[in-house]
Amino acid sequence: PAVCVVGLGYIGLPTAAVIARSGSKVLGLDVSQQVVDTINRGEIHIEEVDLDGLVQGVVARGLLSASLEVAPADVFVIAVPTPFEKDEHGEHAPDISYVLAAGRKIAPVLKTGDVVILESTSPVGTTEKMRDMIAQMRPDLKIPGITRETPDISIAYCPERVLPGRILEELTNNDRSIGGITPRCARKALAFYKRFVRGECVTTDARSAEMTKLVENAYRDVNIAFANELSIVSDRMGLDVWEVIRLANRHPRVNILSPGPGVGGHCIAVDPWFIVHGAPEETPLIRTARGVNDGKMHHVIAKAEALIEAQPDARVACLGLAFKANIDDFRESPARFVASRLARKFGNRMSIVEPYAAQLPIEFTDTGVTQIDVDEALEDCDILIVLVDHDVFRVVPLAERATKLVYDTRGIWPDQPRVVREEAAKLALA
Ligand code: SAJ
């Protein structure tokens, strides 16, 4: 089939490329001329393992092209952002305007037999809203869930669940839930995914599939919040949280996740709000977990500040800015937030190590902070604040850091002498 992918971002572009590799002709739509031009040159505007070679190949073979303008296709895949905004009560409200805009864009070219699939993380009911909009714009088409006769088109919701850094692998290997507006819609979408997905494809209704995606990320957020709360409690009690978690996880039915400086990325810190917004009275746990994870950033800042202030002559290195290990994605990163706060206070004696950044982000300009590499940090700095668990940090042997004051928010150096723990206990007592 001819496929049209709407939105060529972190999900849309890899998806378009993988579908093209399976032999379908793919047209990618984006609202940015720059993105369109970049892809048509066979280049990419985002970083993801192996994506550059794949895009170059499918563009060269004429299987993938990009455009600002829609064209007829057999299958439409929508992968546009669904951010949140603060509503009039200051609550986090999902913004589905990009999804509706995508629906508006494709509606004029839809024809009998077409399949429309929404992949964007969306609040429950969004696929139906998009369906209603298409119905309004195309009264000539029989629309599923509205007409009693066999509909002309199929509409389904099928969330992506790929992990940045492993997108290409997970796009093909992960299981997928495919939610149809009707069972027939689900079957049509299933036939499409079967062409390039090796994982199991399970069909359901659209609303259940929408909720499933939100639940997966809220589950992770709540579990990370538990770990983060434990780390704050352990600081208070002068315990090593990593030791406690390691021991607790020996229980056959306990599997505590890892504390960190907070939760970043564009999904785990966002999607839980979509559930809270849909059922505010019934979601105290999910809401609190969000608060705990955001609060962890401030705990880390306060603890790091106390440590640095207690050593007025020491040089400080913050290790890592990315939102998680081994990727070069700095958007919504707690590490970056913590480092920028510390930079404003201690800029002239602070450095940052981030091997995945060619240069420091804009907010570090004029703070006095310099970018150095791991070796320089180990030579020149007395205090090391570990904010990201990049492998390049993890492999530093004890001998090279034994004399440092280390605040390890990711638990990458379990053998480090526990100076900060004692420091923290003193602060807690004070
Ligand atoms: N984190 C911790 N402790 C942990 C695990 C993660 O602090 O034990 C932090 C990370 O450092 C990071 C944040 O949480 O700041 C999120 O990282 P992540 O690796 O958990 O997730 P993402 O945002 O990269 O991708 C998630 C994945 N969802 C789940 O694992 C349930 C991915 O499968 C989804 O496709 C993606 O969200 C998405 O697009 O929704």
Residues 188 and 258 in one domain: no
Residues 99 and 188 in one domain: yes
Domain that holds residue 407: 250-429
- Answer whether residue 231 is part of any domain: no
Residues 163 and 266 in one domain: no
193 pLDDT more than 60: yes
Domain end residue (candidates: 133, 165, 199): 199
- Answer whether residue 312 is part of any domain: yes
- Looking at residue 266, its pLDDT comes to 86
- Answer whether residue 351 is part of any domain: yes
Give alpha helix (H) positions in 238-324: 241-248, 271-278, 284-309
Residues 10 and 125 in one domain: yes
- The active-site residue out of 267, 296, 303, 404 is 267
88 pLDDT more than 80: yes
Residues 164 and 272 in one domain: no
For the question of residue 111 being annotated catalytic, the response is no
- Answer whether residue 240 is part of any domain: no
- Looking at residue 164, its pLDDT comes to 85
How far, in Å, is the centroid of ligand 1 from the Cα of 136? Answer: 38
How confident is the model over 249-260, as a mean pLDDT? 98
The tally of domains found in the chain comes to: 2
How confident is the model over 260-272, as a mean pLDDT? 95
Q: Which residues contact 336 (CB under 8 A, 6 or more apart)?
A: 321, 322, 323, 330, 361
Q: Is 410 in the pocket of ligand 1 (CB under 6 A)?
A: no
User: How far from each other are the two terminal CA atoms of the chain, in whole angstroms?
Assistant: 68
Which tens digit of pLDDT belongs to each residue from 341-384? 999 999 999 999 999 999 999 999 999 999 999 999 999 999 99
Residues 149 and 38 in one domain: yes
- Looking at residue 424, its pLDDT comes to 54
430 pLDDT more than 60: no
- The active-site residue out of 213, 296, 303, 404 is 213
With b meaning 16 or more CB within 10 Å and e meaning fewer, what string describes 354-364? Answer: bbbbeebbeeb
90 pLDDT more than 90: no
Q: Is 166 in the pocket of ligand 1 (CB under 6 A)?
A: no
Residues 257 and 172 in one domain: no
Which among 267, 390, 393, 412 is the best mutation to test ligand 1's pocket, defined by most ligand atoms within 8 Å of the CB?
267
- Looking at residue 422, its pLDDT comes to 61
Which tens digit of pLDDT belongs to each residue from 149-181? 999 999 999 999 999 889 999 999 999 999 999
**Domain CATH number, residue 422:** 3.40.50.720
- Answer whether residue 238 is part of any domain: no
| Alpha-carbon gap, residue 93 to 81, rounded angstroms | 14
126 pLDDT more than 90: yes
Report the atom number in ligand 1 closest to the C-alpha of 213.
Answer: 40
Q: Is 265 in the pocket of ligand 1 (CB under 6 A)?
A: yes
- Looking at residue 428, its pLDDT comes to 53
- Answer whether residue 296 is part of any domain: yes
How far, in Å, is the centroid of ligand 1 from the Cα of 164? Answer: 9
* Token couple for 124: 């429950």
Which tens digit of pLDDT belongs to each residue from 279-304? 999 999 999 999 999 999 999 999 99
- Looking at residue 420, its pLDDT comes to 59
- The packing angle between helices 419-429 and 284-309, to 10°, is 100
Residues 195 and 256 in one domain: no
For the question of residue 267 being annotated catalytic, the response is yes
Residues 292 and 192 in one domain: no
Domain end residue (candidates: 140, 171, 199): 199
Which letter does DSSP use for residue 404 in this model? S
427 pLDDT more than 60: no
3-state SS, residue 176: strand
β-strand pairing of 115-118 with 154-157? parallel
The band of 201, judged by pLDDT with boundaries at 50, 70 and 90, is very high
The chain-wide mean pLDDT, for the chain, equals: 95
Which tens digit of pLDDT belongs to each residue from 57-68? 999 999 999 999
In the chain, the amino acid numbered 88 is: E
- Answer whether residue 346 is part of any domain: yes
Which tens digit of pLDDT belongs to each residue from 224-244? 999 999 999 999 999 999 999
State what percent of residues in the chain have pLDDT above 70.
Answer: 97
Task: With a threshold of 0.95, tell me whether the complex ipTM lies above it.
Answer: yes
In the chain, the amino acid numbered 48 is: E
Q: Whose CA is nearest to atom 35 of ligand 1?
A: 161
* Token couple for 328: 């070069």
Which letter does DSSP use for residue 257 in this model? -
The two most distant CA atoms of the chain are separated, in Å, by: 78
15 pLDDT more than 90: yes
Residues 43 and 182 in one domain: yes
Residues 30 and 156 in one domain: yes
The band of 214, judged by pLDDT with boundaries at 50, 70 and 90, is very high
Is the model's pTM score more than 0.90?
Answer: yes
- Answer whether residue 95 is part of any domain: yes
Q: Are 370 and 380 contacting, i.e. CB atoms less than 8 angstroms apart?
A: no
β-strand pairing of 92-94 with 316-319? unpaired
| Alpha-carbon gap, residue 294 to 275, rounded angstroms | 17
Q: CA 373, 262, 293 angle in degrees (round to 5)? A: 175
Which among 163, 219, 275, 319 is the best mutation to test ligand 1's pocket, defined by most ligand atoms within 8 Å of the CB?
163
The band of 425, judged by pLDDT with boundaries at 50, 70 and 90, is low
| Alpha-carbon gap, residue 119 to 236, rounded angstroms | 43
Residues 13 and 123 in one domain: yes
